[in-house]
Structure 1
Amino acid sequence: MAKPKIDIYTKFGCPFCVRAKDLLDKKGAQYEEYDITLGGPKKAEMLDRAPNARTVPQIFIGETHVGGSDDLAALEREGKLDALLAG
């Protein structure tokens, strides 16, 4: 089974974004990062995918909207992140 595509929307200087990327890096996960510091079409895309999102990072694994850094860390603590990353 192919691994799901991972998208992470970030802003420059965001410590929560760094923390989320560090965890994904430790897991060996490949992801696409979209910097929405200045807004633009990727910010609009993020809001289309997660209409109530007001903070970054916003993380999507496959079709699953994980949420932010704390949500990603919670999945790891619960032992659910590896299965989600594996597809």
Structure 2
Amino acid sequence: MNVPIEPSKPLEKENCLYKHGGGCKKCVNSCVNEALTIEAFDRHRCYTKCLENAKMYNELGLGDVCGKCLVNMPCSRTNPTRLL
């Protein structure tokens, strides 16, 4: 079954508090292997660490996603810049 889906509108401005004045950086500070920095996100470094963890805990199944940079951040559920 094919269902037409309307695309979302592109963001008009950045939702990141850091990029709106240098505050926050909680996502960067939450990255356990420094794959996320102010300058960039090293997806290869992130994925390599996730696969290393998956090997250590293989009885839990494949764990190739971390998500620590996304969980319980100011921007997790709302746009924190909407009031700026």
Q: TM-score, normalised by structure 1?
A: 0.26
Q: Which has the higher strand share?
A: 1
Of the two, which has the highest radius of gyration? Answer: 2
Structure with more relative contact order (C-alpha pairs < 8 Å, separation 6 or more):
1
